[in-house]
Amino acid sequence: MLRDPAGPTRALYLSLIVLPFLLAVQVAFLAYRPVLGVMIQLVPACVMAWAIGRDAAEAAVGGFVAGLLIDLLSVGPFGGTALALMIAVWPVEALRRRLPESRLLLPFLLGAVGIFTFSLAGLLLTRLSGYAIPWEAARLLLPTAVLHTPLIFVATVGMQAAGRLFGRRRVEL
Amino acid sequence: MDIRSRRRRSGQRLVVTLFGIALLLFLLDAVGVLGNVLNLARGPLAGLIGVGSRLGEWAGRPFGSAETADELAALRARVGALERENEQLRNMTAQVGPALELLGRQNESTEITRVVAAVVGRGPNPLFRDLIINKGTNDGVRVGMAVESARGLVGQIYRASANASQVLLIDSPESAIPARLSQSRADGIVKGGGAGGLLVMNWLSLEAQVVLNDIVVTSGLSNSTPEERIANRFPPGIVLGRITDVQRSPANLFQDAVVQPVVDFNSLETVFVLTGFTPVDNNQFAPQTP
pLDDT tens string B198-242: 888 988 888 888 888 888 998 877 655 444 443 467 888 888 999
Provide mean pLDDT across the span B67-83: 77
The residue with greater pLDDT, B101 or B186, is B186
At A123 the pLDDT is 92
A133 and B34 within 8 Å at the Cβ level: the answer is no
At B284 the pLDDT is 54
- Please tell me which of the candidates A25, A74, A77 has its beta carbon nearest to residue B26: A77
Q: What is the pTM of this model?
A: 0.77
Provide mean pLDDT across the span A57-86: 92
Q: Nearest-CA neighbor of A146 among A114, A124, A98?
A: A114
At A62 the pLDDT is 92
Residues 6+ away with beta carbon under 8 Å from A118? A44, A48, A84, A85, A87, A88
Question: Using CB atoms and an 8 Å cut-off, which of residues 55-94 of chain B contact chain A?
Answer: 55-56, 59-60
At B286 the pLDDT is 55
Q: Nearest-CA neighbor of B259 among B149, B206, B182?
A: B182
| Exposure b/e, B103-119, CB count within 10 A at least 16 = b | eeeeeeeeeeebbebbb
Structure confidence at residue B61 as a pLDDT band (50, 70, 90): low
Report strand pairing: B215-218 vs B270-277.
Answer: unpaired
Provide mean pLDDT across the span A93-111: 87
The residue with greater pLDDT, B212 or B2, is B212
Question: Using CB atoms and an 8 Å cut-off, which of residues 153-212 of chain B contact chain A?
Answer: 158-159, 166, 168, 172-174, 193-197
Q: What percent of chain A has pLDDT over 70?
A: 92
B29 and A79 within 8 Å at the Cβ level: the answer is yes
Task: Give, for B205, the enclosing helix (H) or strand (E).
Answer: strand B199-205
Number of A–B residue contacts, CB under 8 Å? 190
Question: Using CB atoms and an 8 Å cut-off, which of residues 15-44 of chain B contact chain A?
Answer: 15, 18-19, 21-30, 34, 38, 41-42
Chain B nearest-CA distance from A87, in A, is 9
A8 and B49 within 8 Å at the Cβ level: the answer is no
Please tell me which residue of chain B has the smallest CA distance to A29: B56
CA B270 to centroid of chain Cα atoms: 14
Provide mean pLDDT across the span A51-66: 90
At B122 the pLDDT is 87
pLDDT at B100 over 90: no
- Please tell me which of the candidates B26, B27, B173 has its beta carbon nearest to residue A134: B173
ipTM over 0.95: no
The residue with greater pLDDT, B289 or A92, is A92
- Mutating which of A10, A15, A32, A55 best tests the B interface, going by the most B Cβ atoms within 10 A? A32
Structure confidence at residue B75 as a pLDDT band (50, 70, 90): confident
In the predicted model, what is the mean pLDDT of chain B?
Answer: 78
- Mutating which of A74, A116, A118, A148 best tests the B interface, going by the most B Cβ atoms within 10 A? A74
A27 and B124 within 8 Å at the Cβ level: the answer is yes
Structure confidence at residue A170 as a pLDDT band (50, 70, 90): low
Task: Give, for B68, the enclosing helix (H) or strand (E).
Answer: helix B66-95
Of A13-27, A69-83, B36-50, B256-270, minimum mean pLDDT range: B36-50
B194 and A74 within 8 Å at the Cβ level: the answer is no
pLDDT at B102 over 60: no
- Please tell me which of the candidates A28, A69, A126 has its beta carbon nearest to residue B120: A28
pLDDT at B92 over 80: no
Of the CA atoms within 13 Å of residue B183, those in its CB half-sphere come to 10
Angle at B217 between CA B154 and CA B247, to 5 degrees: 100
At B104 the pLDDT is 47
Chain A contact for B45, CB < 8 A? yes
Chain A residues with CB under 8 Å of B195 CB are 137, 140
At B263 the pLDDT is 87
The residue with greater pLDDT, B220 or A170, is B220
Chain B nearest-CA distance from A158, in A, is 22
Q: What percent of chain B has pLDDT over 70?
A: 76
In the predicted model, what is the mean pLDDT of chain A?
Answer: 87
